[in-house]
Amino acid sequence: MRFGRRLALFFLLLAIVPTAALIAILLFVSSDSQRGKADARLAAGLQTAVAIYGGDTADATADAKRLARDPDLAAALSVVDPSRLRAFVDSAGHEPRVTRIEVLDNAGRLMAAAGSVDAVAFARVGLTQNARPVGAIRLSTTTADQYTAAVRRLTDREVVMSRGNTTLASTVTPPPEMLRPEQTADLTIGGVKYRGHAISLDARDGETVLLLGPPKSGGLLGIGPPALAILVWFLVAAVVLAWALARTLTRLHQRVAEQAVTDPLTGLWNRRYMAETLEREVARARRFGHPISLIILDVDDFKQINDHRGHMQGDIVLESVADVVREATRSIDVAARFGGDELALILVETGREGAVVVGERLGEQMRSSRVPLREGGSMGTTISIGVATIPDSAEDVDSLVDAADRALLRAKGAGKNQLRTAPTTHPEPAGERRP
């Protein structure tokens, strides 16, 4: 992965990870908070449900005590007359306040009963004769439907009333499986999600009420739309700023990296970059059996140009030579300033004859070019060129550079403005010449 992409990824992660962690924490905390609020509202509703049940039980207790003192009941119990007991409960069951009445013996067995079978909130009053127990009355003044309707009206929550595993009344479709008393869980009923809590109203009768409410309280993350919009804006701004900073630093890094390996005068690569590239390309050429050539050239009589026309004019000459070298360079080749007035050209996958063609073209272009003078006018400039190639005249980086440099010295010693090649020690492989 390139440096720019790594840097962009780093800053994006630097912006996104803390923000994502913050959002995750908000989600967890908000979820717990919202669920806690929902549970608290359920608890308040359950208190109301228990209070309603207690009120119904208190009303039933008053009526049960009144009926327990009825002489007809005492007479029926004294002789244990089933017909008189049935007549008594039938009469009591028709009273406006009584929903259901049951008379039990001392063992809790039903002796007589009348009224609705879905009655709830029973009161139990013991019966005695001559100071000894003879049974009990169980009495209810409300039905399961009446109870659930009252709870629904006062709590604004859905209600399921059950006895054991039997649902007596419900304001919604009963869940497939009832919760145990004191159990809280999330339920889905009819495609709607609820938060439910069950509580035992009468453990002896097995009567349980399940209260259902919204699973959560509040909006997304427990915050309103303005705060949510600010959070989203912050996330987007963090990503944009991180990306912009990464792009700026990437461009700065590229500029610094180029300056570190670029010659500021000629715009060609510097000697450091040339050395690194030459090591890499020579290793690759030797590994795959490809030729590689090196051209070293310098400006003829460059010292006289500096001495007679000034160093600034010498810089103009070097820039002009660099332009000629740059125009002759393929995208896969590397042109660099070797040092002083010497330039170098690495020709990858190019044999001896191909390198000679390039060198001669460079010399011809310099002979036909004119270099502008600072004071006006122009001057001619020539170059001397040395060429060496692996594998025909060198075997490694050092021998390649040395061979090209010695060839350059021979070109200058032979009168300058010409090209010399390093001596051939191995014939050039066929088919590997520069096109």
Residues 204-249 have pLDDT tens digits of 889 999 999 887 655 444 555 666 677 677 777 777 777 777 777 7
Instruction: Indicate whether 350 pLDDT > 90.
Output: yes
Cβ pair 115, 99 in contact under 8 A = yes
Which tokens is 184 given?
């809280």
Q: How far apart are CA 94 and CA 84, in angstroms?
A: 16
254-289 residues labelled b (16+ CB within 10 A) or e (exposed): eeeeeeeebbeebebbbeebbbebbeebbeebeeee
Please confirm whether the linkage preceding 391 is cis (ω < 30° from 0): yes
Mean pLDDT of 289-307: 95
Q: What's the confidence (pLDDT) of residue 240?
A: 76
**Which of 171, 140, 176 has the alpha carbon at shortest distance from 158?**
171
Q: CA distances (Å), 310 to each of 173, 189, 298, 380, in order?
A: 101, 95, 18, 16
Q: Is the pLDDT of residue 432 over 50?
A: no
pLDDT of residue 15: 66
CA–CA distance, 11 with 13 (Å, rounded to integer): 5
C-alpha 317/C-alpha 125 separation (Å) is 122
Percent of the chain with pLDDT over 90: 60
| pLDDT digits 0-9 by tens, 332-347 | 899 999 989 999 999 9
Tokens 């929903």 correspond to 99
Is residue 90 predicted with pLDDT exceeding 80? yes
Residue type, 214: P
- Does the pLDDT at position 355 exceed 70? yes
Burial (CB < 10 A; 0-12, 13-18, 19+), residue 251, is exposed
Residue among 298, 307, 369 nearest 337 (CA) = 298
DSSP code at position 418: S
**% the chain with pLDDT above 70:** 86
Contact yes or no for 425/393 (Cβ under 8 A): yes
Tally of CB atoms within 10 A around 395: 14
The answer to whether 297 and 365 have CB atoms below 8 angstroms apart is: no
Band of residue 253 on the pLDDT scale cut at 50, 70, 90: low
Instruction: Provide the 3-class DSSP secondary structure of residue 242.
Output: helix
- Position 434 scores a pLDDT of 43
Rounded to 5 degrees, φ, ψ at 218 are 110, 170
Distance of CA 253 to the CA centre of its chain: 28
Kindly give the pairing relationship between strand 192-202 and strand 207-213: antiparallel
Would you call 333 a catalytic residue per the annotation? no
As a dihedral over the C-alpha atoms of residue 226, residue 231, residue 233, residue 235, rounded to 10 degrees, the angle is -170
Q: What does pLDDT average to over the chain? A: 86
- β-pairing, 383-390 vs 419-421, is parallel
Q: Is 196 helix (H, G, I), strand (E, B) or coil?
A: strand
With b meaning 16 or more CB within 10 Å and e meaning fewer, what string describes 193-202?
A: ebbbbbbebe
End-to-end, the C-alpha distance of the chain in Å comes to 34
Q: What is the mean pLDDT of residues 148-174?
A: 93
Give the closest residue to 198 by CA, choosing from 170, 160, 166, 149: 160
Q: How high is the pLDDT of residue 330?
A: 86
The set of residues, in sequence order, having a beta carbon less than 8 Å from that of 259 and lying 6+ positions away, is none
Distance between CA atoms of residues 77 and 106, nearest Å? 12
Please name the residue that has the structure tokens 């008053």.
62
- C-alpha 67/C-alpha 74 separation (Å) is 10
Q: Which of 341, 392, 398, 405 is catalytic?
A: 341
Structure tokens at 258: 């180029």
The encoded tokens of residue 147 equal 């109870």
C-alpha to C-alpha distance for 394 and 426, rounded to whole angstroms: 9
Q: Are 182 and 198 in contact (CB under 8 A)?
A: yes
